[in-house]
Amino acid sequence: MRLPAPFPTDERTELLNPNQPAAVRGDPASGPSRDEHTRWADTLTRTRQPGPFRGTPHWAGLQPATLAVHAGTQDDAATGAVGTPIYQSSTFLLEADQYRSIEEGYARDRFIYTRYGNPSQWAVEEKLAALEGAESALVFSSGMAAISATLLALLDRGAHVVASSELYGGTYALLQGELPTLGMSASYVDPRDLAAIEAAIRPETQVLFFEALTNPLLKIVDIPGIVAIARKHGLRVVIDATFATPIAMKPLGWGVDVVVHSASKYLNGHSDLIAGVAAGPRKLLDAIWPRRLAYGGSLDPHACFMLERGLKTLPLRMRAHAEGAAIVAAWLEQHPRVRRVYFAGLPSHPDHALARRLLANPTGMVCFELDGTDAHAVALLEHLQLAKKATSLGGVETLVSLPFNTSHAAFTAHQRERMGIRPGCVRLSVGIEDPRDLLTDLAQAIECAFGA
């Protein structure tokens, strides 16, 4: 049996952004009615359409907690089953409309083959776009697939990127190892130094790439300040907002061109899948989409279902992460064996003023320095019973890792020290457990680590 077409052409105008004037939407009621065949081409020359979306965007103007539950999610039209079905199909029946979309270059708006697009992808993409306040979003098989497709879409041969000197290791490897093979290059600057960022711009610079919060010291990057520099020089800004999530900030609202995430972290939130997302205007996402096709970083429909389910509790989880982290950070700050604590919600955070201005949620990330050595930090990890010793972040379970033997193992102790990562540095991704249990666990582990 063939299910009803999820995206009937005659409903197309309903799927468009209701905030656009009717004339721009090509609303048949507002102008001369056109043959559906030419109407598509006509609207495309006047404006890029948002989407593709499967549902009517009746969620416009709703709050994040509501969007997280409802946006993009589609009940099954065939059976009435609540929630988006998992469209575990590699390919779709081709009819005249699909053939035409291939011929006329709008295959992104039809279901043809799952690497191109799939209803399970569209559902979660619509939810992500709604949460980011974006016209359009694309999901990828990993955060790195999203970042690489985005950068390769925005850069020409010979182009240069100005990026943070405190990048995620995988992104650094992409910029440093892969871009040069395509005739592109990058340079790295202190993400908190706007003058240095501007000074690093060259005639061939095309993109400024920064992470919203740095790892592991959680410095807050002045994204509106970076956007102002980009505007002045006609450059694009890409922000990796993995640590922040759309609950903490909506970088597109500040004029950022594309926001990317590793959805493997807070967005999915359960440490059980790898995925990525890029969100922004349809015009740019249309340029990123062919890179998803060419480099093959498409997200499997089952993983889309899991990510969509994870996203439904994102606002709830972020509140719990932030509340737990605030309690843990305040407790650590008064502990005699702790020298320093970094948490965006603490008044002692070096960028606290910026954090208050830019972050609606301080996240669950806490970094602290034991009043000891890396050996004390290793001993602390050995004695922790609840917190899991693992890299990654943003899951419901508290994760703990040491920058010196994970993310920053490639640097010497001296280089780490110059970055501000001193001996005894511990990174905590505070989960959603009861913070009292986390404190009990930390208290006994710190005591054991110092041999008390």
Q: Which of 265, 317, 337, 416 is catalytic?
A: 265
List the structure tokens of 308. Answer: 């969509």
- 274: contact with ligand PLP by CB under 6 A: yes
Going from the C-alpha of 379 to that of each of 77, 99, 218, 416, 447, the distances in angstroms are 56, 62, 24, 20, 10
CB of 212 to ligand PLP, least distance (A): 8
**Which of 383/388 has CB closer to ligand PLP?**
388
Does residue 168 have an active-site annotation? yes
CB of 92 to ligand PLP, least distance (A): 27
- 276: contact with ligand PLP by CB under 6 A: yes
The site that binds ligand PLP (CB under 6 A) totals a number of residues, namely: 15
Q: DSSP letters of 9-27?
A: GGGGGGGS-TTS-HHHHT-
**Which of 13/141 has CB closer to ligand PLP?**
141
- 168: contact with ligand PLP by CB under 6 A: yes
Stretch that binds ligand PLP, among 165-173, 191-199, 285-293, 408-416 (CB under 6 A): 165-173
Q: DSSP letters of 360-406?
A: SS--SEEEEEESS-HHHHHHHHHH-SSSEE-S---SSS-EEE-GGGT
CA distance linking residue 134 with residue 117, whole number of Å: 18
- 297: contact with ligand PLP by CB under 6 A: no
**Which of 40/168 has CB closer to ligand PLP?**
168
- CB distance 345 to 194 below 8 Å: no
Q: Is 78 exposed, middle or buried (0-12, 13-18, 19+ CB in 10 A)?
A: exposed
Among 26, 55, 57, 143, binds ligand PLP (CB under 6 A): 143
**Which of 239/338 has CB closer to ligand PLP?**
239
Residue 406 has phi, psi (to 5 degrees) of -130, -100
- 142: contact with ligand PLP by CB under 6 A: yes
Which 3 state secondary structure label does DSSP give 324? helix
Does residue 240 have an active-site annotation? yes
- 300: contact with ligand PLP by CB under 6 A: no
Q: What single-letter DSSP state applies at residue 181?
A: G
Does residue 232 have an active-site annotation? no
**Which of 304/370 has CB closer to ligand PLP?**
304
CB burial of 7-21 (b: ≥16 within 10 Å; e: otherwise) equals: bebeebbebbbeeee
- CB distance 25 to 16 below 8 Å: yes
- Per-residue binder mask for ligand PLP (CB under 6 A), 234-263, x = binder: ------x-xx------------------x-
- Per-residue binder mask for ligand PLP (CB under 6 A), 189-218, x = binder: ----------------------x-------
Compute the Cα dihedral for 320, 318, 407, 297 and give only its sign. positive
CA distance linking residue 60 with residue 74, whole number of Å: 16
- 170: contact with ligand PLP by CB under 6 A: yes
Binding site for ligand PLP (CB under 6 A): 142-144, 168, 170-171, 211, 240, 242-243, 262, 264-265, 274, 276
Point out the residues that are catalytic. 115, 168, 240, 265
